């Protein structure tokens, strides 16, 4: 079997999309030494981030060139058994398509996007989903949303949960605190949130809740750290921070690599994820895997991922968010208990399981097309929760 993957996100700082495809490819290399894998990359630096046993071909960073010309040409030349993409398939594709759609926020909450971006996603994702052999998504919440939005048979949408990368793990707290102080000039204690600065992630609400927390308990020494690159309307969070009068206690790190995130997660007092809408909510698991207590939204897929291992709040309620942070800041016993159950929850997810389930989808689609090699399905180890 030969499987092609559109891996243009690797090396492009596309956050969740990049994390997803990098972890899949690394695990594919570890568990399947019989299939041939081809990765389509954008940028020479990405080649070092993909298993060397994989075939690699360069495609344009420009989405119009990549989807309109490069990918169709490469697929015709490589003749894989299928092509795996995220959200959008090339305009023409002579082989079956497996598409990962992590969420449909562009349909349910278009206000979180520019009008042009929302329109583009509505058009291209609908076309891709309608022609795809399978749709992969990370949560039951997203499966229901996708099936409802596109009116497709639920069996066509396969839930394959994501996971925190193995790199995210507990390390000595004092070591992490010292590293953050040295590299970011941020002293402990601090509260951490991770995500691109954009309206959907609700950093503005978190900043207002942090200000309320400080006003209620001015003796608390905590700072607030927001890790993530500035995206559409990201400057609103910085203006909100300036408006609180607590600018010296609110820090924006910009984009950070996983190695730096490991240190930030381990150094923080606890983690807060106030997002309005998520198809999964990977930072919640990353923080739990590092042994941090988590407070997060009770909406979309976030509470499904947390599943009782986090303090939940309504992201539209500043008072609820403030109280959740106060509960963790003022109650060390609660914080320790949430750290323990968070570690247990994060251990239920791993990229090996995710890759195994994804390969099962690949082989099912490829064998259905060819009508042969069905016995290979039995050779792919599949784990169930």
> Residue 301 falls within a domain, yes or no?
yes
Q: For residues 356 and 378, is the Cβ–Cβ distance under 8 A?
A: no
Average pLDDT, the chain: 93
Q: Which residues of 70-83 are buried (b: 16+ CB within 10 A; e: fewer)?
A: bbbebbeebebbbb
**Residue 384 covered by a domain:** no
pLDDT at 377: 40
Q: Does 48 share its domain with 90? A: yes
Residue 381 pLDDT exceeds 60: no
Show Cβ contacts of residue 350 under 8 Å, excluding neighbours closer than 6 positions.
163, 166
Q: What is the DSSP letter of 87?
A: S
Backbone region of residue 300 per phi and psi (left: phi > 0; alpha: psi in -120 to 50; beta: other values) = left
Kindly tell me if the per-residue pLDDT of 372 is higher than 60. no
Structural domain count, the chain = 2
For residue 305, pLDDT over 60 is answered with yes
Q: Is residue 168 part of a domain?
A: no
Q: What is the mean pLDDT of residues 304-329?
A: 98
Q: What is the pLDDT of residue 370?
A: 66
- Do residues 82 and 48 both lie within one domain? yes
Let me know whether 247 and 323 are in one domain.
yes
Find the angle CA(178)-CA(263)-CA(17) to the nearest 5 degrees.
Answer: 160
Mean pLDDT of 17-30: 94
- Indicate whether 70 and 178 sit together in one domain: no
What confidence category does residue 14 fall into, taking pLDDT thresholds of 50, 70 and 90?
low
Of 128-137, 354-363, 375-384, which range is least confident?
A: 375-384
Instruction: Note whether 266 and 312 are same-domain residues.
Output: yes
Task: Tell me the per-residue pLDDT of 237-292, one tens digit each, with 9 for 90 and over.
Answer: 999 999 999 989 999 999 999 899 999 999 999 999 999 999 999 999 999 999 99
Q: Please tell me the distance from the alpha carbon of residue 112 to that of residue 109, in angstroms, as a whole number.
A: 6
Taking only the tens place, the pLDDT of each residue in 125-183 is 999 999 999 999 999 999 999 999 999 987 899 999 999 999 999 999 999 999 999 99
Q: Kindly state whether residues 75 and 206 are assigned to the same domain.
A: no
- Residue 222: CATH number of its domain: 3.40.50.2000
Bridge partner residues of 39 (DSSP): 5, 56
- Same domain assignment for residues 361 and 294: no
Q: In angstroms, rounded to a whole number, what is the distance separating the alpha carbons of residues 103 and 145?
A: 8
pLDDT in tens, 67-124: 999 999 999 999 999 999 999 999 999 999 999 999 999 999 999 999 999 999 999 9
The domain in which residue 313 lies consists of 173-346
Q: In angstroms, rounded to a whole number, what is the distance separating the alpha carbons of residues 114 and 169?
A: 36
Please indicate whether residue 266 or residue 384 has the higher confidence score (pLDDT). 266
Same domain, 301 and 371: no
Residue-wise pLDDT tens digits, 330-353? 999 999 999 999 999 999 999 999
Largest Cα separation within the chain, whole Å, is 69
Cα gap 110→18, rounded to integer Å: 23
**pLDDT score of 23 more than 60:** yes
pLDDT at 374: 42
| 191 in the same domain as 155 | no
CB 182: neighbour CB atoms within 10 A?
A: 10
Q: Phi and psi dihedrals of 215, rounded to 5?
A: -65, -35
Distance, in Å, from the CA atom of 172 to the CA atom of 32, rounded to the nearest integer, reads 35
Residue 379: band (very low, low, confident or very high) from pLDDT cuts 50, 70, 90: very low
By CB atoms closer than 10 A (0-12, 13-18, 19+), residue 144 is: middle
The confidence score (pLDDT) of residue 232 equals 87
Contacts for 62-68 with beta carbons within 8 Å, 24 or more apart?
Answer: 63/88, 66/8, 66/42, 66/90, 67/91, 67/124
Same domain assignment for residues 151 and 297: no
């Amino acid at each position: 079997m030969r499987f092609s993957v559109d891996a243009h996100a690797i090396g492009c700082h596309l956050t969740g999309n990049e994390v997803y495809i990098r972890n899949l490819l690394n695990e594919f290399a570890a568990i399947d030494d019989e299939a041939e894998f081809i990765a389509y990359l954008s940028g020479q630096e990405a080649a070092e981030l993909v298993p060397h046993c994989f075939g690699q071909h360069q495609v344009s960073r420009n989405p119009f060139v990549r989807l309109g010309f490069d990918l169709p040409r490469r697929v015709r030349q490589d003749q894989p058994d299928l092509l795996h993409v995220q959200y959008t398939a090339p305009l023409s594709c002579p082989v079956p398509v497996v598409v990962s759609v992590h969420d449909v926020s562009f349909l349910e909450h278009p206000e979180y996007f520019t009008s042009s971006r929302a329109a583009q996603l509505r058009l291209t994702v609908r076309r891709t989903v309608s022609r795809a052999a399978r749709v992969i998504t990370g949560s039951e919440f997203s499966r229901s949303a996708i099936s409802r939005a596109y009116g497709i048979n639920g069996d066509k949408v396969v839930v394959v949960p994501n996971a925190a990368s193995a790199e995210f793990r507990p390390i000595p707290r004092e070591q992490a605190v010292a590293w953050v102080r040295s590299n970011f000039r941020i002293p402990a204690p601090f509260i951490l949130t991770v995500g691109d600065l954009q309206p959907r992630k609700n950093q503005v609400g978190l900043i207002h809740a942090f200000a309320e927390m400080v006003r209620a308990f001015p003796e608390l020494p905590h700072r607030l750290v927001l890790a993530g690159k500035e995206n559409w309307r990201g400057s609103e969070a910085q203006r909100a921070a300036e408006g609180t009068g607590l600018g010296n206690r609110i820090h924006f790190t910009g984009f950070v690599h996983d190695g730096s995130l490991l240190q930030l997660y381990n150094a923080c007092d606890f983690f807060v994820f106030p997002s309005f809408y998520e198809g999964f909510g990977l930072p919640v698991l990353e923080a739990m895997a590092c042994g941090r207590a988590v407070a997060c939204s009770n909406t979309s897929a976030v509470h499904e991922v947390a599943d009782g291992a986090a303090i939940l709040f309504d992201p539209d309620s500043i008072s609820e968010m403030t109280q959740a942070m106060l509960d963790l800041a003022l109650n060390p016993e609660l914080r320790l208990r949430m750290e323990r159950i968070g570690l247990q929850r994060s251990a239920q997810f791993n990229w090996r399981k995710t890759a195994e389930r994804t390969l099962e989808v690949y082989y099912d689609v490829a064998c259905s097309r060819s009508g042969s090699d069905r016995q290979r399905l039995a050779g792919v180890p599949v784990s169930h929760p």
